[in-house]
């Protein structure tokens, strides 16, 4: 899991929106880079979706880039290619194991930074969600920050610094990342992904305002999943009990929360269209053809919405996923009988 997360973070170095959305942060970083006054430890603080993790990734790449352009990683030299492939020897990423970053992870960092670097540039260690360090891990890291090895840069990312030791914060250059207006993120997402703005806004909501996570959802096929679900919606009244149970098993093993989110958005659109006839309020406006053709009555739509909400609430209470999906689909089919 950690390696997959690492590869994802490095891949997102290619997306340099944060140079615009967090321009003041990068103005300061670029000044340090151009004057060769990079400090040994940074704390990137800001909310989810502000670009702090992406910035940590981009800074790590820039510090090792052979041919930076305007003090930013070129993304084409041998060093950047290694970074993109997830095998740069000068970059190490630490993410929580479960709920916390643990002492043994800091000990491993100490072991790694004590080894001789195999390439020019800086040895960069990125701590994602640094506020989730255990007290033992934090104290161990503090000792490392007090006597940092030459040529090593530590980058800590956190939503806030209150959960970090004040002595750790005091040894870092703190850069505050501001929230990016949702409409600005949605516009970027819509432009880059070729989807409708309202659909982009909705996918951003599913991603808790994190544009990179929204891009990941699109790349992993959320629109194809929606297409499959709409096919099922159109034919659910024709499915027999065994087919419904098979479908419930499939949803239960997949991502039932995401399935329910997409279905709720669809039936919410059907309800809005039936009640108001206002297409400017629709999320799935790109599938207006299906919304306009839908022949479910207002009462049927209301019943299905209630059942979807009940299933969603059951999952938040840690109900069995497959059983929850079975109950939902069997009740859903009975709406039409």
Say if CB 193 and CB 218 are below 8 A apart. Answer: yes
Q: Is the pLDDT assigned to residue 163 strictly greater than 50?
A: yes
* Residue 238 binned pLDDT confidence (cut-offs 50, 70, 90): confident
Instruction: Tally Cβ neighbours within 10 Å of residue 278.
Output: 9
Instruction: Tally Cβ neighbours within 10 Å of residue 120.
Output: 10
Higher-confidence residue: 48 or 9? Answer: 48
Say if CB 215 and CB 15 are below 8 A apart. Answer: yes
Question: Residue 235: what pLDDT?
Answer: 86
Question: Residue 178: what pLDDT?
Answer: 82
Q: Is the pLDDT assigned to residue 14 strictly greater than 50?
A: no
* Residue 181 binned pLDDT confidence (cut-offs 50, 70, 90): low
Q: Is the pLDDT assigned to residue 252 strictly greater than 50?
A: yes
Question: Residue 183: what pLDDT?
Answer: 75
Partners of 124 in the β-ladder: 91, 153
Instruction: Tally Cβ neighbours within 10 Å of residue 28.
Output: 12
| Percent residues over pLDDT 70 in the chain | 93
Q: What are phi and psi of 300, to 5 degrees?
A: -65, -45
Question: Residue 3: what pLDDT?
Answer: 45
Place of tokens 């951003």: 204
Q: Diameter of the chain by CA atoms? A: 74
Fold of 2-180: Rossmann fold (3.40.50)
Question: Residue 191: what pLDDT?
Answer: 86
Question: Residue 17: what pLDDT?
Answer: 67
Question: Residue 158: what pLDDT?
Answer: 94
pLDDT tens string 205-225? 788 777 778 888 898 889 999
Class of domain 221-335: mainly alpha
Could you give the CA distance from residue 45 to residue 52 in angstroms, rounded to a whole number? 7
Higher-confidence residue: 11 or 66? Answer: 66
Domains 2-180 and 221-335 in one fold: no
Domain edges within the chain: 2-180, 221-335
**Secondary structure class of 152 (helix, strand, coil):** strand
Question: Residue 104: what pLDDT?
Answer: 95
* Residue 8 binned pLDDT confidence (cut-offs 50, 70, 90): very low
pLDDT tens string 101-150? 999 999 999 998 887 665 578 999 999 999 999 999 999 999 999 988 88
């Amino acid at each position: 899991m950690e390696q997959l997360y690492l590869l994802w973070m490095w891949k997102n170095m290619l997306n340099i929106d944060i140079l615009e959305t967090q321009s003041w942060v990068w103005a300061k970083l670029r000044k340090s880079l151009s004057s060769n006054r990079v400090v040994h430890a940074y704390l990137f603080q800001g909310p989810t979706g502000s670009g702090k993790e992406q910035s940590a990734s981009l800074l790590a790449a820039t510090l090792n880039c052979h041919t930076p352009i305007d003090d930013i990683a070129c993304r084409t030299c041998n060093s950047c290619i290694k970074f993109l492939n997830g095998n740069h020897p000068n970059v190490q990423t630490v993410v929580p194991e479960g709920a916390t970053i643990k002492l043994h992870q800091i000990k491993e960092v100490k072991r790694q930074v004590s080894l001789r670097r195999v390439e020019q540039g800086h040895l960069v260690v990125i701590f994602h969600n640094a506020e989730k360090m255990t007290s033992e891990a934090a104290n161990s890291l503090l000792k490392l920050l007090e006597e940092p090895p030459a040529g090593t840069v530590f980058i800590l990312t956190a939503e806030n610094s209150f959960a970090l030791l004040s002595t750790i914060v005091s040894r870092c250059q703190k850069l505050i990342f501001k929230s990016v207006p949702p409409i600005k993120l949605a516009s970027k997402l819509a432009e880059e992904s070729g989807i409708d703005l309202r659909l982009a806004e909705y996918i951003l909501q599913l991603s808790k305002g994190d544009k990179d996570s929204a891009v990941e959802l699109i790349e992993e096929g959320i629109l194809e999943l929606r297409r499959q679900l709409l096919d099922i919606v159109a034919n659910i009244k024709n499915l027999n009990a065994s087919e419904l149970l098979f479908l419930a098993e499939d949803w239960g093993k997949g991502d039932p929360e995401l399935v329910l989110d997409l279905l709720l958005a669809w039936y919410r659109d059907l309800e809005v269209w039936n009640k108001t006839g206002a297409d400017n309020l629709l999320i799935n406006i790109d599938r207006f053809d299906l919304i306009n053709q839908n022949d479910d009555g207002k009462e049927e739509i209301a019943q299905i919405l209630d059942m979807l909400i009940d299933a969603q609430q059951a999952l938040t209470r840690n109900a069995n996923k497959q059983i929850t999906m079975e109950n939902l689909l069997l009740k859903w089919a009975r709406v039409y009988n």
